[in-house]
Each structure stands twice: as C-alpha cells, then as structure tokens.
Amino acid sequence: MLHRLLLVFLAAAGASVLGLPPLRGSPPAGPCAAPLQWEGRWVVYDHGTGRNSRAAVSYDSLNQRIRVLQQHKKHTPCQRFFEYIYLYKSMVMFQIDQKTKDCSKISLTEVWDPFNIPDNSTFEDQYFIGGPGDNVEVQEWSDRKPARQHETWVGVYTLKDCYPVQETYTKNSTVTTSTRFINLQLGISDPNVFSPPPTCQSARLQRMAESEC
C-alpha cells in the first residue's frame, strides 16, 4: 500500500514539474447542459465523399429549428449554394437557392435531435485543446455501451459553458459525418432567419440539385 501511495505522489509531482495536467479523480456524475440557443459556424466533413461543407448556423432548440447558410467557395465550379431552414415542429425543411431565391419545401422524416449530451451517455475523457496557455478544457462523451462493438456518436463539449466543439455521427454503419463548431455566440440575434422568404409560398416539392453541371 505504501508503494502505491508513493507512486501516485511521484506521478503527480512529475506532472507538476513538466507542466502536464494533474491526475484526475472519478468521472463526472453526469453530462453538462448545452446552450439552447446559439449562432456561429460549422464545418461538416462527410467521410464517404471526403467533402467539407462550411456554413453559418443559427440554432434554436427551444423551438426545434435550425437555419443553415452555406458559405460560397470560389474553387468549386458549378456548385450551387443554398440556405436551409429546418422547422422540426412542422416537420418541414425549406431549401432556398441563394442566387435565384428558388425554393423547395421538403417533408422531414427524422425527429428533432438537439446538439447536446444525452443523459445516458458514457464519459470518455477530459482534456485541453491546443497547446500550453490555450486552456480550452473539454469533455468527451459517447453512446458506447458494453454490448455494442463501436460507438455511433461521439461528442466533445467545452467544460466551462458546455458549447459543442465536435460531433461524430454514424448512421446505419454507412454514413459518417464529423461536425466542427466554431465562433459560437449565445442567443439568436435575428429570429427572422427562421422565416422562409416569400418565394417559398409557391415552393416546389422536389429537392434542388447541388450542382449546375
């Protein structure tokens, strides 16, 4: 027993001298509560296609709605850029061409899935992002269960205010996406971004193609 205590003391002292994070105790009792409304940007990486999609995002969990405004990229010829308004209480999504304002109205088939850490999540790790002096501490959670071989969801959230940093999601073992969240700000500056434009009053019922070529 004395030898074990001595080893723990030496490890903690060594971490202090080297500037490493101290040894941590038991895992947290449960996940933190993520903000219900925020604005910022995200980068979604599709592991199947190898494509990154960048967008400005307004997120409103109170009313179960998300607005996504794709960012223009000059190095993608023939690419069309859209604004997406997801209204989960009405189970509809509006797709608006940013250039022509053409609009499609599509029925949603999946229920609202908020950006948060579910209560039954499994704690994986706690660590700092970046190098010395950055001091952005995060927690990593997943839906890992003893009877499951792999996780289908892994979420990284800041320790201080529980903002999402990254989520990796696998659907049906075939579609895997990783979403990175950046420049988040608390609240919704303009609630009107969730209102479809007048052109959506005569919206088509088919989704528009993402490329003109």
DSSP tag of 213? -
Which residues, other chains included, contact 4 with Cβ-Cβ below 8 Å and sequence gap of 6+? Answer: none
pLDDT over 60 at 72, yes or no: yes
What pLDDT was estimated at residue 132? 87
What pLDDT was estimated at residue 164? 98
Q: With 0.85 as the threshold, say if the pTM is over it.
A: no
What pLDDT was estimated at residue 9? 34
CA distance 206 to 43: 26
**For range 39-58, the mean pLDDT:** 94
pLDDT digits (tens, 9 = 90+) for 7-35: 333 333 443 333 444 445 567 889 999 99
Answer yes or no: are the C-beta atoms of 101 and 197 closer than 8 Å: yes
Output 143 or 14, whichever has higher pLDDT. 143
Residue 181: pLDDT band (50, 70, 90) is very high
CA distance 84 to 71: 12
What pLDDT was estimated at residue 18? 39
pLDDT digits (tens, 9 = 90+) for 102-141: 999 999 999 999 999 999 999 999 999 999 888 899 999 9
Token digits for 123? 């704690």
Of the ranges 25-29, 126-130, 150-154, 170-174, the best mean pLDDT one: 126-130
Which architecture, in CATH terms, is 37-200? Clam (2.50)
Q: Where are the alpha helices (DSSP H) in the chain?
A: 2-18
Domain ranges of the chain: 37-200
For the chain, the farthest-separated pair of C-alpha atoms sits apart, in whole angstroms, at 78
